[in-house]
Amino acid sequence: MPAKEVNPDLQKERNTATFNPHEFSVFWAGGEDRYKEKKALEKMFLEDPALQDDLPISYLSHKELYEHSLRKACIIGEKIRKLRADGEDGVDTYNALLGGSLGAAILKEGNPLALHYVMFVPTIMGQGTMEQQVEWLSKAWDCEIIGTYAQTELGHGTFLRGLETRADYDPKTQEFVINTPTLSAYKWWPGGLGHTANHAVVVAQLYTKGEFRGLAPFIVQLRDSDTHKPMPGIDIGDIGTKLGMKAVNNGYLGLKNVRVPLNNMLMKNQQVLPDGTYVAPKNSVLTYGTMMFVRCALIRDTAQSLAKSSTIATRYSAVRRQSPIDPNQPEPQIMDHTTQQLKLFPQIAKAIVFKTTGDGIWNMYNVISGEIEQGNLDRLPEMHALSCCLKAVCSADAAAGVETCRLSCGGHGFMDCSNFPTIYGMTTAVCTYEGENTVMLLQTARYLVKVYGQALNGEKLVPTVAYINEALSQQKFVNFDGSLESIVKAFQFVAANKTRIAYEQIELRRKQGHGTEVAANLCGTFLTAAADLHARAFLAQSAYTELLAVSREVSPALGDVLKVVLELYLVDACLNRIGDFLRFIDLTDQDVTKLEVRLESCLKRLRPNAVALVDSFDLHDRVLDSALGAYDGNVYEHIFESTKKNPLNKEPVNGSFHKYLKPFMKAHL
């Protein structure tokens, strides 16, 4: 951390903390070994002068930002090559550089090579045969080819069956002929597609022997390997500026009679034989494996967004003094205001809960992936449903949390130098990519309604929805005593009843003569509400299980703080859905008042350790990149330093004065 003198208010907060932040930092990193690896990576990447910005990137044009970011992305890629050669390129390294805080420190607006690593390579690994992996993976890992993943179209996104890109098999030449027959069929949004990638996995509707077979992925060469000029039949470019992720080089792609060899269709799950015979996959959901993989990873990314924003806002709130609480006393730190604590502390708690839940989901995904490899698909629907709703809820809550932290910093939070605009842009994008959130909730709800019907028939459900069996046998929730366990059980009871209502509403529409899909559309609000509560019930259970377990493994001092974090998360989550709780559980006015008083108590108890907690996230100043959130707390000095980097301030009189303003002012004379 910087050697500058630390702001005395911030130092006081650190001095009065009741636990050792380093202990939490090690837990947050995943253990001592991973903590050391994290520090080594930071030294390797953040201390490299070639990866630092002389000018804040907000002053660069779109073209300049892309070129600047691609230069740094290639340096990162070269370092990854070295790590691979030394056998040190583990999953954590890629997570840190491509989706984690380290990558965001180097490339604030995203990495134009990211999709090559996080989508192109995993798709080949997950959907390619062993022979195809041998052919393509070494080239991809060594970056002899640069790829992206082209699925979303100008006219269609999450609704995959609506995709218009078409691949027709020609048995005479044993090739697929790929076309985007309309403007709306153009591929739109893939990262790196604009000017970076020379290959792509293109998802298209497959036709063989004149029959529609469903979606299939094809490896398509987009640009010449030497000149980088578009290949014949390829219309390609960058889609332009965006709210966030401005350096990712999102592109568009049109294809006109582009021919690719038979073996360029990834055929691990489905096959086309040389004569055009189609061999269907055992389970159509298998083709969605790459998206499920990314959604699981995104849950942990949302925790990082909340960790960064809550660190910036909490440090700022320890330094900023304003609005006397006692008129006879000096202006207090704004973090002493209870309303400020209510903005900040739940975001800290959510960051911790989303991280522990994300780690659990990642482990669950790896276990189920192993089962799928062995041909056991039993838990695939459960994993798909859970990854969909958690991606939706965590990203929505994270985006809202980042905005809350920005608002907590007043006008200074609106400045680019706070880094909130960039963090928000990167976070809110997660609400849309890899499945728009409402559609994700609807996919989960489809699963919930199905398993509810199974539960009515007496079937025992898988662990993540077993609470539905319990609710059916319980009928009425009893003994809500306000304990953390009862809050978790109440969440599950409420979630089960939300699913019950969705199920009953769909059945009612069916009896009225509507088909299944029409009935689902008419009941859309019931379905999304059920999925939302399913995710929140899972988060509550995960928080309760994981944080209590961790609190028993760490020192008593840290364990006590984590218990307060857990209590704050659960009580706040309950109060945020109090209408649903009142609907299904016999809570009294006194019960609700007790919860509100407990929330205030949690804020008060967490207050002495708030700065130590965000320090424990161990976010390098380069990662935060914020004048408001630097480790030394010299907020006003850093804000003023940022103004000196403004190109407008490099000259005392801007040329526009003589060209426009002076003539305008003198015009009436």
Write down the H helix ranges in 577-661.
Answer: 578-584, 589-606, 610-616, 621-624, 635-644, 655-656
User: Catalytic pick from 164, 434, 546, 567?
Assistant: 434
Q: How many residues does the chain have?
A: 669
Q: Is the pLDDT of residue 2 over 60?
A: no
DSSP run (H or E) holding 147? strand 147-150
CA dist., res. 249 & res. 211, Å (int): 36
Instruction: Quickly tell me which residue has 């809820």 as its tokens.
Output: 393
Instruction: Quickly tell me which residue has 């319980």 as its tokens.
Output: 474
431-432-434-435 Cα dihedral, nearest 10 degrees: 90
pTM (two decimals): 0.93
Q: Which residue has the higher pLDDT, 479 or 129?
A: 129
CA dist., res. 206 & res. 178, Å (int): 9
Q: Is the pLDDT of residue 308 over 50?
A: yes
CA dist., res. 311 & res. 234, Å (int): 46
CA dist., res. 495 & res. 489, Å (int): 10
- What's residue 290's pLDDT? 64
Q: Is the pLDDT of residue 567 over 60?
A: yes
Per-residue pLDDT of 239-281, as tens digits, reads 999 999 999 999 999 999 999 999 999 999 899 999 999 999 8
Per-residue pLDDT of 589-625, as tens digits, reads 999 999 999 999 999 999 999 999 999 999 999 999 9
- What's residue 195's pLDDT? 98
- What's residue 23's pLDDT? 98
| Cβ-proximal residues to 270 (8 Å cutoff; 6+ apart), any chain | 213, 214, 216, 278, 279, 280, 281, 287
Name the DSSP letter for residue 161: G
- What's residue 159's pLDDT? 81
Give helix then strand counts, H and E, for the chain. 26, 11
Q: Which of 293, 276, 274, 277 is nearest to 285 (CA)?
A: 293
Per-residue pLDDT of 8-57, as tens digits, reads 999 999 999 999 999 999 999 999 999 999 999 999 999 999 999 989 99
Per-residue pLDDT of 171-225, as tens digits, reads 999 999 999 999 999 999 999 999 999 999 999 999 999 999 999 999 999 999 9
Instruction: Quickly tell me which residue has 């006003």 as its tokens.
Output: 636
Q: Which domains does the chain have, with CATH numbers?
A: 23-111 (1.10.540.10), 145-281 (2.40.110.10), 289-615 (1.20.140.10)
Average pLDDT over residues 449-477: 94
- What's residue 85's pLDDT? 83
pLDDT band, very low/low/confident/very high, at 643 (cuts 50, 70, 90): very high
- What's residue 445's pLDDT? 98
- What's residue 226's pLDDT? 96
SS3 556: helix
State yes or no: 152 annotated in a binding site: yes
* Mean of the per-residue pLDDT values of the chain: 94
Q: Which residue has the higher pLDDT, 485 or 434?
A: 485
- What's residue 1's pLDDT? 43
pLDDT band, very low/low/confident/very high, at 399 (cuts 50, 70, 90): very high
Q: What percent of the chain lies above the pLDDT cut of 90?
A: 86
Q: Is the pLDDT of residue 373 over 80?
A: no
How many C-beta atoms lie closer than 10 Å to residue 60's C-beta?
A: 18
Average pLDDT over residues 279-299: 76
Per-residue pLDDT of 330-340, as tens digits, reads 999 999 999 99
CA dist., res. 489 & res. 482, Å (int): 11
Write down the H helix ranges in 262-408.
Answer: 289-319, 338-373, 380-408
Per-residue pLDDT of 537-557, as tens digits, reads 999 999 999 999 999 999 999
Q: Is the pLDDT of residue 114 over 90?
A: yes
Asked if residues 165 and 255 have their Cβ atoms less than 8 Å apart, the reply is yes
Check if 596 is active-site. no
Q: Is the pLDDT of residue 287 over 60?
A: no
pLDDT band, very low/low/confident/very high, at 370 (cuts 50, 70, 90): confident
State yes or no: 227 annotated in a binding site: no
Asked if residues 45 and 51 have their Cβ atoms less than 8 Å apart, the reply is yes
CA dist., res. 235 & res. 188, Å (int): 12
SS3 153: strand
Q: Is the pLDDT of residue 288 over 70?
A: no
